[in-house]
């Protein structure tokens, strides 16, 4: 288990992973977002806890696979389906990356902020 590691080490671990799990214990607010974005950038297939702060980043079964909060059996079942299916891994990874590019880059964020700012000035 790793705790408080430098960002470069974190990114290396994500880049070398085959599948990324985001198994949160509870709906604790701002947890898991950095891992979501990093995994998406690295085109990794992702299994995530179905809570609003995480599921916001995904289209279920298209760019990631969700499982209910606290349901370890469902997590194991989803992992079992994904671990032996290289095509599904590749598809999810590519879709996650495309979702990142289309919605979560800093350029996209800046464009949205500019749009919001421009609208507020025009009213």
Model confidence pTM above 0.95: no
CA separation for the pair 24, 71 (Å, rounded): 10
Sequence-distant (≥ 6) Cβ neighbours of residue 81 within 8 angstroms: 65, 88
If residue 49 lies in a helix (H) or strand (E), which one and from where to where? strand 46-49
Query: How far from each other are the two terminal CA atoms of the chain, in whole angstroms?
Result: 52
Structure confidence by residue, pLDDT tens digits, 67-81: 999 999 999 999 999
CA separation for the pair 1, 112 (Å, rounded): 37
pLDDT mean over 23-42: 89
Dihedral angle of Cα 96, 97, 100, 105, to the nearest 10 degrees: 160
Structure confidence by residue, pLDDT tens digits, 57-111: 999 999 999 999 999 999 999 999 999 999 999 999 999 999 999 999 988 888 8
Percent above pLDDT 70 for the chain: 99
């Amino acid at each position: 288990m790793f705790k408080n590691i430098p960002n470069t080490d974190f990114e290396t671990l994500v880049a070398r992973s085959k599948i990324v799990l985001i198994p949160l214990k509870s709906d604790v607010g701002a947890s898991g977002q950095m891992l979501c974005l990093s995994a998406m950038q690295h085109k990794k297939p992702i299994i995530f806890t179905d809570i609003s702060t995480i599921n916001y980043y995904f289209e279920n079964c298209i760019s990631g696979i969700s499982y209910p909060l606290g349901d370890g059996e469902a997590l194991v079942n989803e992992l079992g389906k994904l671990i032996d299916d290289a095509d599904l891994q590749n598809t999810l990874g590519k879709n996650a990356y495309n979702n990142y590019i289309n919605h979560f880059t800093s350029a996209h964020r800046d464009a949205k902020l500019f749009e919001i700012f421009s609208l507020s000035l025009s009213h």
